[in-house]
Structure 1
Amino acid sequence: MSSAATPNRPLRARRRATRGPLTPSGLPRWLLLPAGLGALLVLLPVAAMFLQVSWSDLPSLLTSESAVDALLLSLRTAASATALCLLLGVPLAAVLAQARFRGVGLLRGLVLLPLVLPPVVGGIALLTVFGRQGLLGGALEVLGMQIAYSTVAVVLAQTFVSLPFLVVTVETALRDLDRQMIEAAVMDGAGRTMVLRAVALPLILPSLVSGVILAFARSLGEFGATIAFAGSLQGVTRTLPLEIYLQRETDPQAAVALSLLLVLAALLVIGLAGSRRGRP
């Protein structure tokens, strides 16, 4: 081995180290195979739908009465569920971010439970509370209110599965706030409500918007909890995912067309959420 080659080894090692462990040139090449398979697993089914759909029949498939009813109902209920998530989720996230009492970890776990529960289990749980024979069903019926198998049930089902997305996003943002800015506002005489409204919320606005977008997207795609708690009545509880499920048996082309509509909506939502996260 030549003496001139020896000093080059540390230099090459330093060059490899400066590339960084997360840059493409610094990754082991064998990762490309499982990464490519993972990408294909997600992209190939979506691409297959684009190839299978009958583009000439697409306008008639998307403008049928049942499809339009389902789409409009989904948009209305998803917007209502998102508003409810915002109304309840921001205070809940603020409490979880600041709470130091014993058992806060358990409370956080219970709040995030819908993230891991099968949605149909959430629908059955809601039914045991608001159904006619449920925990509150009798009292609600006395007041002339029937929630189960109504449009309100759709909104509650969507809120149940969507709320954790907003809570996680907002709580994480609140935990990452600059403590010095909060302390400076307190020293200037700002009360707790003023600190939250005038300091904390403006600082976490990008994360808050991302959480709202994610909650809306999850509400728009909700299926399991809705069908278990609200049923499937056209114009009342049959949202777009339920319409797709029914069309799958009777008109597969219509099911594919409506599925593409949800895919495009999801891509739009992902783009909006990604653009918000990319902003300073």
Structure 2
Amino acid sequence: MTTATSRTGHLPRTVLVMAAAAVLVVVVPVLGLLWRVPWSRFPELVTSEASLAALGLSLRTSAAATALCVLLGVPLALVLARSSLPGLRTLRTVVLLPLVLPPVVSGLALLTTLGRTGLLGARLEAAGISVAFSTTAVVFAQTFVSLPFLVLSLEGAARTAGTRYEAVAATLGARPGTVLRRVTLPLLLPALGTGTALAFARSLGEFGATLTFAGSLQGVTRTLPLEIYLQRETDPDAAVALAVVLLAVAALMVLLTQGGAGRRSVARRRDGVPR
């Protein structure tokens, strides 16, 4: 009895019951999906030409979008967490908007801005650069919806870490660039890893904004979620099989983030630092 109590942290039984209900809300649909998979045909369904093309496109565009999220999101998160510029609250609100916007609205925002007759798209078209309904549009759509995940993870970690180590380095004569490279980024590396994994997973699962802004051209803009949606109408078994592939990749991303968190927790316990 004492062991069970210590493992649950003296939580009330009501909390444990509600937590179990929350787990069921997530686990039962996943089990339903796995139960529906035609496992005897699984290799055939996930290795068709259309499926492999969609998976390959999704992996490539998600990797490119994640790289853009890191390149742009790290400086933005540091500005939000460490600067005292006016209007930071408004800036943070704008940056986090894609988290709450319906994906189709995100796609419309991109289309009216970068589409062929959009605010910037018309000028790009005049210069011979077409963005909408191309692979580049897929990357932009994925970056738009994924960037807030990385910024949110990194900003929170930067606020928690504080600035004491940077202040010491600056007192010792280190330049701002050196402080950023040798002190700030190493401190934030675990959070950066988590944010990067979340951004990749979100990019991989992006659907609405991609469909609205990039369309669905096989081998060009038809990512795995779009292929699943189309297969749902023509071959439900193939749609379920591809959904399991997407589920497996997303689960891998989550496991990577949890693994990093677990290792940091163990390290803190070994050092005698409270979690």
TM-score by length of 1: 0.90
- How far has the Cα of 1:180 moved from its partner? 2.5
Q: Does 1:122 align with 2:106?
A: yes
- How far has the Cα of 1:147 moved from its partner? 0.3
Q: How does 1:225-240 map to 2 (within 5 A)?
A: 225-240=209-224
Q: Does 1:102 align with 2:86?
A: yes
Larger displacement relative to structure 2 (92-101 or 235-244): 92-101
Q: Does 1:91 align with 2:91?
A: no
Q: How many residues align?
A: 261
Task: Provide runs of 4+ in structure 1 moved above 4 Å.
Answer: none
Q: Does 1:73 align with 2:57?
A: yes
Q: How does 1:174-253 map to 2 (within 5 A)?
A: 174-253=158-237
In structure 2, the partner of 1:154 is 138
Q: How does 1:121-140 map to 2 (within 5 A)?
A: 121-140=105-124
Answer 1 or 2: which has greater helix percent: 2
Q: Does 1:42 align with 2:26?
A: yes
1:2-48 superposed Cα distances (whole Å, 9 cap, x missing partner):
xxxxxxxxxxxxx9xxx78xx63622223344332221121111111
1:194-230 superposed Cα distances (whole Å, 9 cap, x missing partner):
1111110011111111111111010000001000100
Please give the alpha-carbon distance, in whole angstroms, between the structure 2 residues aligned to 1:228 and 1:73: 17
Instruction: Indicate the percent of aligned positions where both proteins have the same amino acid.
Output: 57
Please give the alpha-carbon distance, in whole angstroms, between the structure 2 residues aligned to 1:223 and 1:89: 22
In structure 2, the partner of 1:163 is 147
Please give the alpha-carbon distance, in whole angstroms, between the structure 2 residues aligned to 1:87 and 1:29: 45
Larger displacement relative to structure 2 (67-76 or 188-197): 188-197
Instruction: Give the one of 237, 256, 263 matched to 1:272.
Output: 256
- How far has the Cα of 1:193 moved from its partner? 1.1
Pick the structure with greater CA Rg. 1
1:226 partner SS: helix
Please give the alpha-carbon distance, in whole angstroms, between the structure 1 residues aligned to 2:136 and 2:48: 25
Q: Give 5+ residue unaligned stretches, structure 1.
A: 1-14
- How far has the Cα of 1:177 moved from its partner? 2.2
**CA RMSD, aligned part only?**
1.5
Corresponding letter in the other structure for 1:168: L
TM-score by length of 2: 0.91
Q: Does 1:53 align with 2:37?
A: yes
